[in-house]
Amino acid sequence: MNPPKKNTNEILYKLELSDDDKDDIILIAIKSNMPDYKIAYHLNRHLNIKFCKVIPEISVEDKGTSYFRSFKYEDEKNYLVWRLFENKSCYTENINHGTLALFEKNEEALGTTNYLIPEWRTIDYFLLIENTDFLFDTESLLERIQNIPNISTQFEVAIDSLNIKSQKNLIF
Protein backbone atom coordinates (compact mmCIF):
# COMPACT_ATOMS: atom_id res chain seq x y z
CA MET A 1 0.00 0.00 0.00
CA ASN A 2 1.43 3.37 -1.08
CA PRO A 3 0.98 6.47 1.11
CA PRO A 4 -1.15 9.22 -0.46
CA LYS A 5 0.83 11.85 -2.36
CA LYS A 6 0.87 15.36 -0.98
CA ASN A 7 -0.02 18.25 -3.20
CA THR A 8 3.28 20.16 -3.48
CA ASN A 9 1.63 23.09 -5.23
CA GLU A 10 0.01 24.35 -2.02
CA ILE A 11 1.31 27.56 -0.53
CA LEU A 12 1.47 27.30 3.21
CA TYR A 13 3.00 30.67 3.99
CA LYS A 14 3.57 33.72 1.91
CA LEU A 15 6.34 36.14 2.86
CA GLU A 16 6.62 39.51 1.23
CA LEU A 17 10.01 41.13 1.03
CA SER A 18 9.99 44.88 0.78
CA ASP A 19 13.28 46.16 -0.58
CA ASP A 20 12.53 49.86 -0.24
CA ASP A 21 15.73 51.54 0.90
CA LYS A 22 13.98 54.87 1.30
CA ASP A 23 12.15 53.68 4.42
CA ASP A 24 15.32 53.55 6.50
CA ILE A 25 16.53 57.06 5.60
CA ILE A 26 15.48 60.29 7.29
CA LEU A 27 16.34 63.61 5.67
CA ILE A 28 16.06 66.79 7.76
CA ALA A 29 16.39 70.25 6.26
CA ILE A 30 18.12 72.90 8.40
CA LYS A 31 18.17 76.65 7.75
CA SER A 32 20.80 78.61 9.66
CA ASN A 33 23.24 81.45 9.19
CA MET A 34 26.02 79.59 11.06
CA PRO A 35 29.02 78.12 9.24
CA ASP A 36 29.13 74.35 8.78
CA TYR A 37 31.65 73.67 11.54
CA LYS A 38 29.48 75.51 14.11
CA ILE A 39 26.37 73.59 13.06
CA ALA A 40 28.33 70.34 13.48
CA TYR A 41 29.57 71.49 16.90
CA HIS A 42 26.07 72.39 18.14
CA LEU A 43 24.56 69.17 16.78
CA ASN A 44 27.32 67.23 18.56
CA ARG A 45 26.47 68.96 21.85
CA HIS A 46 22.67 68.78 21.63
CA LEU A 47 22.32 65.32 20.08
CA ASN A 48 25.24 63.59 21.84
CA ILE A 49 26.91 62.60 18.58
CA LYS A 50 30.43 63.15 17.24
CA PHE A 51 30.52 64.53 13.72
CA CYS A 52 33.90 64.45 11.94
CA LYS A 53 34.68 66.30 8.74
CA VAL A 54 34.71 64.12 5.63
CA ILE A 55 37.60 64.49 3.23
CA PRO A 56 37.30 64.50 0.24
CA GLU A 57 34.27 66.75 -0.04
CA ILE A 58 31.14 65.74 -1.93
CA SER A 59 31.61 66.62 -5.59
CA VAL A 60 28.88 66.99 -8.19
CA GLU A 61 29.61 67.57 -11.87
CA ASP A 62 27.24 69.85 -13.75
CA LYS A 63 28.77 72.66 -15.87
CA GLY A 64 31.89 72.21 -13.77
CA THR A 65 32.60 70.43 -10.51
CA SER A 66 30.93 71.78 -7.36
CA TYR A 67 32.22 70.82 -3.92
CA PHE A 68 30.03 70.50 -0.82
CA ARG A 69 31.50 70.17 2.69
CA SER A 70 30.13 67.36 4.83
CA PHE A 71 30.45 65.70 8.23
CA LYS A 72 29.83 62.09 9.22
CA TYR A 73 29.21 60.13 12.41
CA GLU A 74 28.81 56.34 12.61
CA ASP A 75 26.79 55.27 15.64
CA GLU A 76 28.00 51.69 16.11
CA LYS A 77 25.74 51.10 19.12
CA ASN A 78 22.51 51.84 17.22
CA TYR A 79 23.85 50.99 13.72
CA LEU A 80 23.04 54.49 12.44
CA VAL A 81 25.02 56.64 10.03
CA TRP A 82 24.57 60.40 10.46
CA ARG A 83 25.62 62.80 7.71
CA LEU A 84 25.53 66.59 7.76
CA PHE A 85 26.18 68.35 4.46
CA GLU A 86 25.75 71.80 3.02
CA ASN A 87 23.27 72.42 0.25
CA LYS A 88 24.94 75.49 -1.28
CA SER A 89 28.32 75.61 -2.95
CA CYS A 90 29.83 78.86 -4.11
CA TYR A 91 33.01 77.18 -5.34
CA THR A 92 33.00 75.63 -8.79
CA GLU A 93 35.92 74.28 -10.75
CA ASN A 94 35.30 74.88 -14.43
CA ILE A 95 35.56 71.94 -16.83
CA ASN A 96 37.18 74.18 -19.48
CA HIS A 97 40.90 73.93 -18.72
CA GLY A 98 41.94 76.24 -21.55
CA THR A 99 44.24 79.14 -20.91
CA LEU A 100 42.86 82.61 -20.37
CA ALA A 101 44.44 85.93 -21.17
CA LEU A 102 45.64 88.03 -18.25
CA PHE A 103 42.45 90.09 -17.80
CA GLU A 104 39.97 87.73 -19.46
CA LYS A 105 37.07 86.56 -17.30
CA ASN A 106 35.66 83.07 -17.18
CA GLU A 107 31.97 83.86 -16.62
CA GLU A 108 30.89 80.23 -16.08
CA ALA A 109 33.15 79.68 -13.07
CA LEU A 110 32.80 83.04 -11.34
CA GLY A 111 29.88 83.97 -9.11
CA THR A 112 27.87 80.80 -9.48
CA THR A 113 26.02 79.11 -6.64
CA ASN A 114 25.21 75.45 -7.08
CA TYR A 115 22.86 73.34 -4.98
CA LEU A 116 23.11 69.69 -4.03
CA ILE A 117 19.31 69.56 -3.80
CA PRO A 118 18.03 72.32 -6.11
CA GLU A 119 14.38 71.87 -5.07
CA TRP A 120 15.31 73.33 -1.67
CA ARG A 121 17.42 76.37 -2.61
CA THR A 122 16.50 78.20 0.60
CA ILE A 123 17.86 75.41 2.82
CA ASP A 124 21.45 75.73 4.03
CA TYR A 125 22.15 72.22 5.41
CA PHE A 126 20.71 68.72 5.38
CA LEU A 127 20.99 66.07 8.06
CA LEU A 128 20.72 62.55 6.63
CA ILE A 129 20.27 59.61 9.00
CA GLU A 130 20.62 56.12 7.54
CA ASN A 131 19.49 52.71 8.85
CA THR A 132 16.61 54.04 10.97
CA ASP A 133 13.70 51.84 11.95
CA PHE A 134 10.14 52.41 13.14
CA LEU A 135 11.39 53.07 16.69
CA PHE A 136 13.46 56.10 15.67
CA ASP A 137 11.85 59.23 17.17
CA THR A 138 12.04 61.91 14.49
CA GLU A 139 9.81 64.36 16.40
CA SER A 140 12.11 64.30 19.43
CA LEU A 141 15.10 64.87 17.17
CA LEU A 142 13.43 67.88 15.54
CA GLU A 143 12.62 69.34 18.98
CA ARG A 144 16.25 69.00 20.10
CA ILE A 145 17.46 70.66 16.89
CA GLN A 146 14.95 73.47 17.47
CA ASN A 147 16.68 74.25 20.80
CA ILE A 148 19.96 75.06 19.04
CA PRO A 149 20.53 78.83 18.78
CA ASN A 150 20.67 80.40 15.30
CA ILE A 151 18.73 77.59 13.64
CA SER A 152 15.65 79.24 12.21
CA THR A 153 13.98 76.27 10.51
CA GLN A 154 14.16 72.49 10.63
CA PHE A 155 11.78 69.93 9.16
CA GLU A 156 11.71 66.46 7.68
CA VAL A 157 11.87 66.14 3.89
CA ALA A 158 10.29 63.14 2.17
CA ILE A 159 12.89 61.44 -0.03
CA ASP A 160 10.16 60.59 -2.56
CA SER A 161 9.41 64.31 -3.05
CA LEU A 162 12.88 64.88 -4.53
CA ASN A 163 13.57 64.43 -8.22
CA ILE A 164 15.76 61.55 -9.38
CA LYS A 165 18.85 63.73 -9.87
CA SER A 166 18.65 65.01 -6.29
CA GLN A 167 18.14 61.48 -4.96
CA LYS A 168 21.29 60.38 -6.80
CA ASN A 169 23.19 63.29 -5.22
CA LEU A 170 22.34 61.81 -1.81
CA ILE A 171 24.20 58.56 -2.56
CA PHE A 172 27.64 58.94 -0.98
Pick from 49, 48, 87: nearest CA to 67: 87
Choose between 10 and 50: higher pLDDT: 50
Pick from 130, 39, 146, 144: nearest CA to 82: 130
- Return d(Cα 72, Cα 98) in angstroms, integer: 36
- Return d(Cα 54, Cα 20) in angstroms, integer: 27
pTM of the model: 0.75
DSSP 49-109: ---EE-SSPEEEESSSEEEE-EEEEEETTTTEEEEEEESEE--EE-S------TT---TTT
Which strands sit side by side in the sheet containing 52-53, from one edge to the other? 52-53, 70-75, 80-86, 125-130, 25-32, 151-157
- Return d(Cα 98, Cα 131) in angstroms, integer: 45
Q: In this model, does residue 59 exceed pLDDT 80?
A: no
Q: Which of 53-57, 79-83, 91-95, 110-114 has the highest mean pLDDT?
A: 79-83
Q: In this model, does residue 2 exceed pLDDT 90?
A: no
Give the rounded percent of residues in the chain with a pLDDT score beyond 90.
52
Q: In this model, does residue 123 exceed pLDDT 70?
A: yes
- Return d(Cα 111, Cα 106) in angstroms, integer: 10
Choose between 156 and 111: higher pLDDT: 156
Answer positive or negative: Cα dihedral of 24, 147, 139, 133. Answer: positive
User: Residue 126: its pLDDT value, please?
Assistant: 96
What is the chain's alpha carbon radius of gyration, rounded to the nearest angstrom?
23
Q: Which of 92-96, 107-111, 129-133 has the highest mean pLDDT?
A: 129-133
